[in-house]
Structure 1
Amino acid sequence: MSQVAEFYIPNVGNVAADQGFTGPNGTQYGAGWLLNPPEVEAAALGVLPLVREEKPDHDSNTQYLREQQVGAVISYVVEDIPSEEIEARLAGLAVAAAMQVDLAAEQARMRFITPGAGQAMVYQTKIEEAARWIAAGSPPDLSAYPFIAAEVGLTAPSAAELVALWQTMESGWRTVAAQIEAVRMTGKNAINAAAAGGDPAAITAALNAALVTLAAFAP
């Protein structure tokens, strides 16, 4: 798609060639007038082609690119961003990245357990009840162990097999949870180190690495 030519008109401003405009004296000029204007009238208005100088290279993390216009010429000036603003940007970027890592870690955990605080309490109560049952010598009377009593015959045929199953599941979950936590902490530490080093690209790289690893966890 070709770019539409632009013109500068004193006391009017910048106008695209295919747009209409109001002249300094209030005269209305229709859309497209600038594409082929009468020479005398264009000269009287002071119509000039708008010139945009080439943008200089700059580091957007540490420098602003300011646009300025003098007459029909638009030029660009590179200015250093104040150090305190750079630090604030890095801090904000690091906080946002850390929050994304925390969220991804929680999503990874939820792929292995049923969501909900109530369900988490049930799981924990089962494990504690299983430990009490074993510590008591694995008694056949399950009246003091309501979760075991309720699930025997459903998930496993005996209390011993049921408790063994719960413990196996708990062990597997603890292993996965520890791995997820290691990735979470490693990622956040890398993000903080990148922020301390003033490297926004490294913050993004550390975030992406953590997200990719956490996304790979699956039951």
Structure 2
Amino acid sequence: MTRIFSRSEISKALELNGCRSKARDQINKRMDEIRSQFITPITGQQMIYMAKEAEALAYVAASVEPSTETGWEQDYPFIAGEVGSTGSSAYEVAQVFMNLASQWRYIGAQLEKVRIETLQAVGLAQSQADIDAALSQFEAALGGLGG
């Protein structure tokens, strides 16, 4: 007599949860690769980008006229440090910082939307086929963003 063993619902759910976890890791790793095309992936660099943007916004809002007497370099060290390389004046450097932040905000928001939607689809997946479909849609969406 042949016995037929069927897997329990718990066993199936555990396997699916493992597949979901692997898919989430894959999504986040791939997103890290894509983001690295747009921002420098060194430790702490994101904080520097945010500080540069904040400094540039404050500089432009204050309408500072740089001079050695005002000590503006202490208030705007990132801008002061890049005058002559990133731009020929403090105002040009501030503009570059703001433009780069704006460009990143645009692409970053699009990438994050795709990542979150895919993670949600994986979380709701009822099978490995659903997970595979979500991952395929993820890659297609990244391709549409230039990734």
Instruction: Calculate the TM-score normalised by the size of structure 2.
Output: 0.84
Instruction: Determine the C-alpha separation between the residues in 1 that align with 2:19 and 2:87.
Output: 50
In structure 2, the residue matched to 1:205 is 133
Larger radius of gyration: 1
The CA RMSD over aligned residues, in Å, is 2.2
Instruction: Determine the C-alpha separation between the residues in 2 that align with 1:139 and 1:78.
Output: 83
The answer to which structure, 1 or 2, has the higher relative contact order (CA under 8 A, 6+ apart) is 2
Q: Which runs of 5+ in 1 are unaligned?
A: 1-67, 69-75
Instruction: Determine the C-alpha separation between the residues in 2 that align with 1:165 and 1:125.
Output: 13
Q: Does 2:36 align with 1:98?
A: no
Structure 2 residue corresponding to 1:119, chosen from 25, 37, 45: 45
In structure 2, the residue matched to 1:185 is 116
Query: What letter matches 1:122 in structure 2?
Result: I
| Counterpart mapping for 1:165-180 below 5 A | 165-180=96-111
Instruction: Determine the C-alpha separation between the residues in 1 that align with 2:44 and 2:143.
Output: 25
Q: Quick check: which one's strand share is greater?
A: 1
Instruction: Calculate the TM-score normalised by the size of structure 1.
Output: 0.58
Q: Does 2:60 align with 1:129?
A: no
Stretch of structure 1 that moved more, 135-144 or 83-92: 135-144
In structure 1, the residue matched to 2:10 is 84
Instruction: Determine the C-alpha separation between the residues in 1 that align with 2:32 and 2:43.
Output: 13
Q: How many residues align?
A: 142
Cα drift, residue 138 of structure 1: 2.8
Amino-acid identity (%): 33
Cα drift, residue 215 of structure 1: 5.4
